Amino acid sequence: MPHTARFVIDPEFAVGDVDPRLYGTFVEHMGRCVYTGIHDPGHPTADPAGFRGDVADLVRELGTGLVRYPGGNFVSGYHWEDGVGPAADRPRRLDLAWRSIETNQVGTNEFLTWARQLGLEPMMAVNLGTRGIDAARALVEYCNHPEGTAWSDLRIKHGVRRPHDVKLWCLGNEMDGPWQTGHKSATEYGRLAAEAGKAMRQVDPAIELVACGSSNAGMATFGTWEGEVLEQTYDEVDYLSLHAYYEEFDGDRASFLASGAHMDQYISDVVATAHHVRAVRRAKKHIKLSFDEWNVWYAARFPGERNLATAETPRLIEDTYSVTDAVVVGSLLITLLRHADRVAVACLAQLVNVIAPIRTEPGGASWRQTTFHPFAQAARHAHGRVLRTESSGPRIETARHGEVSALDSVVTYDEDSGALTVLAVNRDQSRPLHLAAALRGGAAGYRLVEHLVLSDDDHDAVNTEAEPDRVVPRRARGTSVTAEGTLEAQLPPVSWNVIRLAPAV
């Protein structure tokens, strides 16, 4: 079979364990993510707090375990105090990030209560753009201190007796970006982040902190920013952030399908920089990574913040995703999992409406975009230990990323159940790919549970309100485990595949 990709599956060869927070998402006060997204008081399914029940059901089905809030660019001009206390008394503010009117009807307590009801760990961001140390430590005190201080007692006065106990905190957002309100140099930001982090930890020593890395790998300061920020913050922080969005340019679909190759190199470069700072400082701890914004985003279609009309709850970057987009999202998930030894946190940006896996209409329907399915399947099945695999097989030439493998794949092993999960993408646009994976060592004697595939003859097929299930995963035929112990499967062109195996006995 000339168009065949091969690799070996052996549970003894591991990369690292999957942190459940790798399946995180992101809610920002941007467009319709919050208002008419997760929160829509007039909706027939809304709970007493105004949060949509149909969206909550889809969030549970998506399987995310963590959600980042409230931004994003929004946080760099946000006064968190505007979003607490009686809703009728909250001010309407001009949000400079997205040229929107922010009503502040959803704020810290509403969001954190919603997240906890859904079993989601919150990842909060503090404003290091227009504000700084004092506002950051006050927010931690408001959220996490039990009682007996001004900020904790104010939370209790606002009707929340038990602390929210938020443990993961972002020290600002994309502070290297000239578009950011309060943009800073690496030295300025690193110094502020270190001091803010110290103060926040004095309030709650148990919290974990994320420092801002570069906004993307294309920034002119990429690499030098990471080095300087880590030099300033290494002793105070636990994670360094990465952000990346991908889109198809000028009809170059081959490069778009290979976006994971870029993400892979990006992660490796940041890890190398972190290793360098660690070596220079002769430090013992390793900085882990928080890839807390990633997705497919057709940013070339976005007019830019300065061209937006000021409005309340505008429809911003509500991209409709295709089969091809879903396959790319699956490939990016595979890349994150392959780096499970260093990537502990990751957030698909965003959760609802804004470049999101879930779409809604105000007061009306909600539905799953094509990208919902690879995320939900990975979150449901790809747990435990990521195995080290090296594939051989056909290659594809791309204009942006050079030569890449037609197969993009990762394997996870759940030690408790013995389950093996193979996530695989065929990047080839015209040819099916034959997969032959030899089951060795502890993987010998496994049986096939199922092979689900997301593909379509029309690679541009999408889900819509009228046709919400146009693109869904379906059972594949012909997949088997041979008597010789080889997993054999056919992967259609431009496809996302989930193959589950279990011990035969």
Helix (H) or strand (E) holding 123: strand 121-126
Return d(Cα 55, Cα 120) in angstroms, integer: 14
The residue from 81, 141, 236, 293 that is catalytic is: 293
Q: What angle do CA 38, 69, 147 make, to 5 degrees?
A: 105
Beta bridge partner(s), residue 7: 437
Q: Taking Cα atoms as reference points, which of 465, 369, 377, 391 lies closest to residue 423?
A: 377
Q: Are 195 and 133 in contact (CB under 8 A)?
A: yes
Q: Are 68 and 241 in contact (CB under 8 A)?
A: no
The residue from 81, 174, 228, 236 that is catalytic is: 174
Return d(Cα 186, Cα 168) in angstroms, integer: 22
**Strand 4-9 with 402-405, pairing:** unpaired
The CA-atom distances, in angstroms, between 236 and each of 143, 191, 200, 277, 316 are 20, 11, 10, 14, 36
Q: Taking Cα atoms as reference points, which of 396, 391, 428, 393 lies closest to residue 411?
A: 391
For residue 121, indicate whether it is catalytic: no
Return d(Cα 93, Cα 131) in angstroms, integer: 16
How many residues are recorded in the chain?
Answer: 505
For residue 147, indicate whether it is catalytic: no
Half-sphere exposure of 252 (CA within 13 A, CB side): 15
Q: Are 406 and 398 in contact (CB under 8 A)?
A: no
Name the phi and psi angles at 140, rounded to 5.
Answer: -60, -40
Return d(Cα 170, Cα 149) in angstroms, integer: 24
Catalytic residues: 174, 293
